[in-house]
Amino acid sequence: MAIATTVAELSKHVGQTVTLSGWLYNSRSGGKLVFLILRDGTGLCQCVIEKTDAKADNFQTAKRLGQESSLIVEGEVRADERAVGGYELLVRNLRVVQDVEGYPISLKAHGIDFLMKHRHLWFRSQRQWAVMRIRATLIKAIRDYFDSRGFILIDTPIFAPSVGEEAQTLFEVDYFGDPVYLAQTGQLYVESAMMAHRKVYCFGPTFRAEKSKTRRHLTEFWMVEPEIAYADLDDVIELAEDFTYEIVRHVLRERRPELELLERDLSKLEHLTKPFYRLTYSEAVELLHSDKPKALLENDRKEKGARIEELQALIRDKTARMEGEGVKQWKQDKLGGELIEHREELSDLQTEVANVDHHIELAANFKWGSDLGGSDETIIARLYDKPVFVTHYPRGCKAFYMKRNADDPRVVNNLDLLAPEGYGEIIGGSQREDDLDLLLEQMKVDGLETEPYEWYLDLRRYGTVPHGGFGLGLERTVAWICGLKHIRETIPFARMTGRIYP
């Protein structure tokens, strides 16, 4: 009897006869052998079918099987260093569950739009498979971190009666005739729970009607938000630092093969040490006004310019080869796929180079008092090899609940954590305004009516204490850990401006 197992377990079955069930990822045949690369959700395994009389049927079937056909194979496990995963199966029996023809995603390259439209299938591709496994592990690392340190999980509502973070990005929903909003944050609710449990966190989907299309913004994203009592800004920073450090270490430990599959430069993550850097907002502004941003971006222009020329040459060359006489169909497909990738990279680089002057100007003319823009954050983050905390932002550009600084009332006790390699803000947080009068004053400045917040104000009326917390964006953190340029691949089904399918 063959033992039913999975690719991940093959090392335990060398020399034994097993069955594997999965899907056909890829195949090739040569002479008397067919190699099926089977994908079973846990890994890839090369299954070898020989053309012998006993297996003549298997051989013929295997030869014509289309990509993503579902199948069950039985055979003997052999260790083979050259095979993907290190093992291969000498197939004795092959059973086809469904014979597939015309699977839309081939192993050659496709454009990103095509892939996003086929997200439900794109999931099966190796890179996407790796990203989702890393995401799942990161979520577990986050939960384990808080659960093992006495934090109580508090689930916060998704229907919210008022602004949580910023009025400009609310999604309004009809709630039996009254307007309510999809939650932008669970923070106000975890503040309330913190008063009961001391250390709490929420972890769930949050919603922001971000109209601009950027590589960092989704309209639906996941955020984890811890909140702690009797804490000032330093306590919150310390927690954010230790937390970020630990969850990255956890993923590095548990998901090394997946990170390698993504070709992530692991040295960058391995060198993560505490403490991270700290800058005040005013110091960040000085940095933007220094000659560093210009030097950095001019260097980009040079490097990207060289790559653009290289890509243009590649595109010319491959287009000519494709149009040449007698080029085989498979070769044309391969070149066509590569061309799509080159053109996408080229168009991204051209946009980036076209923005260089604008970004230099934005940095040079940055005015104390405004919020750091995406390009400013990128510049600051790129000037450091570890995450950077930027603290003490001007009160006017931050949310109403942030604690006014005692020494300089123009600023608040807040923190943003910028991830290195240009990833930018992954955490936003603060000490909270615990003084009822100051909170009311700020709400007035921000034009917020107090009525919907009476329950929140009660927290300042009954046993108020210094406290604070932060929110970490899951998808931006996955992008950083995986080394992905765009956030759209870090969530199973991305929701962005103009994208709601599948």
Binding site for ligand 4AD (CB under 6 A): 165, 185, 187, 208, 210, 217-218, 221, 223, 225, 425-430, 469-471, 473, 475-476
To the nearest whole angstrom, how small is the minimum distance from the Cβ of residue 141 to ligand 4AD? 16
Whose Cβ is closer to Mg ion: residue 5's or residue 414's? 414
Told to check if 471 binds Mg ion by CB under 5 A, we report no
* Cα atoms in the Cβ-side hemisphere of radius 13 Å centred on 3: 14
To the nearest whole angstrom, how small is the minimum distance from the Cβ of residue 428 to Mg ion? 3
Whose Cβ is closer to Mg ion: residue 137's or residue 187's? 187
Burial of 283 (0-12, 13-18, 19+ CB in 10 A): middle
To the nearest whole angstrom, how small is the minimum distance from the Cβ of residue 56 to ligand 4AD? 55
To the nearest whole angstrom, how small is the minimum distance from the Cβ of residue 375 to ligand 4AD? 16
3-state class (DSSP) for residue 92: strand
Q: How many CB atoms lie within 10 A of CB 132?
A: 17
Residue 46 binding result from ligand 4AD, Mg ion, none, given CB thresholds of 5 to 8 Å by partner type: none
Give 205's strand partners. 222
Residue 221 binding result from Mg ion, ligand 4AD, none, given CB thresholds of 5 to 8 Å by partner type: ligand 4AD
List the end-to-end C-alpha distance of the chain, in Å, as a whole number.
Answer: 42
Whose Cβ is closer to ligand 4AD: residue 224's or residue 287's? 224
Give CA–CA dist 163/185, Å, rounded.
Answer: 9
Give CA–CA dist 63/30, Å, rounded.
Answer: 10
To the nearest whole angstrom, how small is the minimum distance from the Cβ of residue 186 to ligand 4AD? 7
* Number of helical (H) and strand (E) elements in the chain, helices listed first: 15, 17
Give the DSSP letter of residue 108: S
Residues 383-442 that bind Mg ion (CB under 5 A): 428
Q: Is the peptide bond before 275 cis (omega within 30 degrees of 0)?
A: yes
Q: Residue of minimal CB distance from Mg ion?
A: 428
- Residue 277 phi/psi, 5-degree rounding, is -80, 155
Whose Cβ is closer to Mg ion: residue 75's or residue 428's? 428
To the nearest whole angstrom, how small is the minimum distance from the Cβ of residue 202 to ligand 4AD? 8
The closest of 477, 442, 117, 123 to 269, measured between CA atoms, is: 477
Whose Cβ is closer to ligand 4AD: residue 218's or residue 287's? 218
Whose Cβ is closer to Mg ion: residue 73's or residue 190's? 190
To the nearest whole angstrom, how small is the minimum distance from the Cβ of residue 471 to Mg ion? 8
Residue 426 binding result from ligand 4AD, Mg ion, none, given CB thresholds of 5 to 8 Å by partner type: ligand 4AD
Residue 293 binding result from ligand 4AD, Mg ion, none, given CB thresholds of 5 to 8 Å by partner type: none
Whose Cβ is closer to ligand 4AD: residue 103's or residue 493's? 493
To the nearest whole angstrom, how small is the minimum distance from the Cβ of residue 221 to ligand 4AD? 4
Q: How many CB atoms lie within 10 A of CB 169?
A: 16
Give CA–CA dist 389/401, Å, rounded.
Answer: 19
To the nearest whole angstrom, how small is the minimum distance from the Cβ of residue 270 to ligand 4AD? 23
Residue 387 binding result from ligand 4AD, Mg ion, none, given CB thresholds of 5 to 8 Å by partner type: none
The closest of 283, 282, 256, 279 to 269, measured between CA atoms, is: 256
Told to check if 468 binds Mg ion by CB under 5 A, we report no
Residue 394 binding result from Mg ion, ligand 4AD, none, given CB thresholds of 5 to 8 Å by partner type: none
Q: Which amino acid is at 246?
A: E
To the nearest whole angstrom, how small is the minimum distance from the Cβ of residue 237 to ligand 4AD? 12
When computed from its CA atoms, the radius of gyration of the chain, rounded to whole angstroms, is 27
What number of chain residues touch Mg ion (CB under 5 A)? 1
Spatial contact of 270 and 249, defined as CB atoms under 8 Å apart: no
Residue 217 binding result from ligand 4AD, Mg ion, none, given CB thresholds of 5 to 8 Å by partner type: ligand 4AD
Give the DSSP letter of residue 156: P
Q: Which amino acid is at 335?
A: L
H/E element holding 389?
Answer: strand 388-391
Burial of 291 (0-12, 13-18, 19+ CB in 10 A): exposed
Give CA–CA dist 169/124, Å, rounded.
Answer: 33
Residue 210 binding result from Mg ion, ligand 4AD, none, given CB thresholds of 5 to 8 Å by partner type: ligand 4AD
Whose Cβ is closer to ligand 4AD: residue 181's or residue 470's? 470
Q: Which amino acid is at 461?
A: R
Largest CA distance in the chain: 88
Residue 165 binding result from Mg ion, ligand 4AD, none, given CB thresholds of 5 to 8 Å by partner type: ligand 4AD
To the nearest whole angstrom, how small is the minimum distance from the Cβ of residue 416 to Mg ion? 6
Whose Cβ is closer to ligand 4AD: residue 68's or residue 165's? 165
Whose Cβ is closer to ligand 4AD: residue 25's or residue 203's? 203
Give CA–CA dist 18/25, Å, rounded.
Answer: 19
Residues 89-148 that bind Mg ion (CB under 5 A): none
Whose Cβ is closer to ligand 4AD: residue 116's or residue 426's? 426
Residues at the site binding Mg ion, with contacts judged by CB under 5 A: 428
